[in-house]
Chain A
Amino acid sequence: MSEGAENISLAIAAVNGRANRLTVGRLARTMAILIGVLILISLVAIAVGSEHVGLNSILSICWSLITGHPASAPTEQVSIIAGVRLPRILTAIVVGAALSVAGAAYQGLLKNPLADPYILGVSTGAAVGAIVATVFAESILVGRPIAAFVGAILTMAAVYGLGYKERGSSSDRLILSGIIINTFLSSVVIFLLTASSGSQLRSIFSWLIGDLSGTPELLPLVVAIVVIGIAVVFLNARSLNLLMIGDQDAQALGVEVWRVRIIMFAAASLITGAVVAKSGVIGFVGLVVPHAVRMVCGSDNRIVIPASGLVGASFLLLADLVARTILSPREIHIGVITALIGAPVFVYLLRRSA
């Protein structure tokens, strides 16, 4: 008995010694570090801005928001922190996390490291949906994320239908059809922009290039959708590991391929639609973040998905910090920063995979 137990522990030690296998402990340690980093960046992002607010005041205001006690800080500081900076930070966190998780999911589902909601045109499809909802039913707030979701799903289906091949590598075709559909949808957006009235113009324009400011009305709904969507993606992460190898392999190993694929595509498109409805099209986050995570953590989706969420949140928060401070008091659009970082990474990935 003890000899058997010894053999077992020897075998496990032999395996663990040879390869860096993902364990619950490693996942927990990585998550703890990434959550710590996110909290640190969040504190910096709250503190930095045109109005100086001290760390003590910030902590006091945050504490008062959680507990309901009055804060020991001037009222204008409370309104800046609670009314402007916190919603913006929460938006950056949710958008960064959602786009990165969606990117990781699309990459696994399409077996293509170059996939991302922006490059595939899914974000622009969601934007078309949101814009249509705004133009035709401006008063119905819930209509925007729903229409964005429909736009995202339809775009995904179109890209998949155009680019999918039964056999062989379909990577290039998928990216190409994504680019074509993205270009087409961008033209649709510009058409809607031209045809719409002046009051709607600014919000439509911000959808096209991304904007993390704006009214916080949609925020609770978007947060709820993103949390649920990320949970669904994470719960299917082990199946995604197998799908990433190939449909036939996954099927042979016991995965209900079509069921998992439909659930995952729906969840990824849902969270993309939700954040696009809130903040417009922000490119390359979903491409860069999962790739960086894989370089450090390996390709197991059980760590790639949650780590991408946290790293994506930190990344977009940091990018937004740069966007609103570097030319202060003027603000650079967030999409400009992410594209400046993302486009070179895309080129690097493209060259490496060729």
Chain B
Amino acid sequence: MRSCPKLDNGQPLLSVEGLTFCFGARSVLDAVSFSVNEGELLALVGPNGSGKTTLLKSLLGVLKPAAGEVRLHGRHLSTMSRREIATLVGYVPQDSSIHFPITALEFVLQGRFAHGRALGFESNLDVIESHRAMEMTGTLELAGRPVTQLSGGERQRVMVARALAGKPSLLLLDEPAANLDISYQVKTLDLVRSLTAGGKISAVVVTHELNLASEFATTAMMLKAGSVLAHGAPHEVFTEPALNTLFGARLLVDKNPVSGAPRITLVAPDRHVE
């Protein structure tokens, strides 16, 4: 099928080193370094304006960093064409505002753009991969519906399907839980986890849903004012001191009674904690 560069043993899928980004004089990312291995699901958390989205866009190669580098399969992102990046990285935006009533199938088939020629029509392989992606996300029955008429949850799943249709090695999700009710939040993250658990694909998820991140991610990273505050397994990262520093809010951490993952509880400022 797709020719995929062989990995050297022990080389991470994605490695980020000293990534720095500025908007004018304001520094948004300050020497951020981390790596993501195959099969890893990294949750990126932090308050608004901490640089999460900027980091995600740098990983996508859409924003060019002031300093530092991003490597995918050992190759520098800055040396790759948009098309090459698109065959390796699948991106699920927060929401697409769509003004034209294209069908969900047409939308998902767009995920195959980088695999074909700019002119021309989708090959059988493109159709098969899109079918597979829609099956995985449970969106096959939406195929003929205009995306403009889908609910928020349906559109979210179609966007995940579009990203998966390209068979990426790395999936980037920008707040996939926003605008979704809790059952879809769980379904979306569960789908991403089952994909990464197979080991063929890794994911970076930007989210504000701390409990979702704690429950589903294999690793978590806290960003505060453009710097990494904590990075590691969820139980190492989601601690009361770290969370309280990060958000400046009162949060309690105990254990999820079912999974044992850290459970974060918010506390109103005027409540007394026993």
Which residues from chain A sit less than 8 Å from chain B, CB to CB?
A: 8, 11-12, 14-16, 18-24, 108, 111-113, 169, 171, 235-239, 241-242, 244-246, 248-249, 251-256, 294, 298-300, 302, 353
Contact = CB atoms under 8 A, between A and B. Distances in A.
A238 B103 contact: no
B62 A248 contact: yes
Contacts of A299: 100-102, 106
A238 B143 contact: no
A107 to B, nearest CB: 8
Contact of B86 (A16, A21, A246, A253): A253
Contact of B131 (A15, A237, A246, A249): A15
A236 B140 CA distance: 28
Contacts of A255: 82, 113
B182 interface: no
A72 to B, nearest CB: 45
A14 B85 CA distance: 30
B144 A20 contact: yes
Could you say which interface size class chain B belongs to? 35 or more
B140 A18 contact: yes
Given A15-B130, A238-B119, A238-B120, 11 more contacts: A12-B127, A19-B104, A20-B144, A241-B102, A241-B106, A245-B96, A248-B93, A249-B93, A252-B60, A252-B91, A256-B81
Contacts, number: 124
Interface in B84-106: 85-87, 89, 91, 93, 96-106
B23 interface: no
B132 interface: yes
B110 interface: yes
A232 B105 CA distance: 26
A300 B122 CA distance: 12
B100 A169 contact: no
A305 B193 CA distance: 41
Contacts of B100: 108, 111, 113, 244, 294, 299
Contact of A171 (B91, B99, B140): B99
A297 to B, nearest CB: 12
Given A11-B128, A246-B97, A254 B82 contact: yes
Q: Which 7 A-B pairs have the closest CB atoms?
A: A254-B86, A254-B114, A252-B91, A18-B143, A19-B144, A19-B105, A19-B143
A16 B109 CA distance: 12
Interface string B121-146: 11010011011100000001101100
A245 B144 contact: no
A12 B113 contact: no
A252 B89 contact: yes
B75 interface: no
B51 interface: no
6 contacts: A15-B105, A238-B116, A253-B162, A254-B87, A298-B102, A353-B99
Interface string B167-191: 0000000000000000000000000
A112 B128 contact: no
A237 B132 CA distance: 25
Nearest to B103: A19
Contacts of A302: 121
Given A15-B143, A238-B118, A300-B102, A169 B86 contact: no
Interface string B55-87: 000001010000000000000000001110111
Task: Determine which residue in A24, A248, A256 has the highest number of CB atoms from chain B within 10 A of its CB, and name it.
Answer: A248
A248 B110 CA distance: 13
B97 A169 contact: yes
Given A18-B143, A169-B97, A12 B131 contact: yes
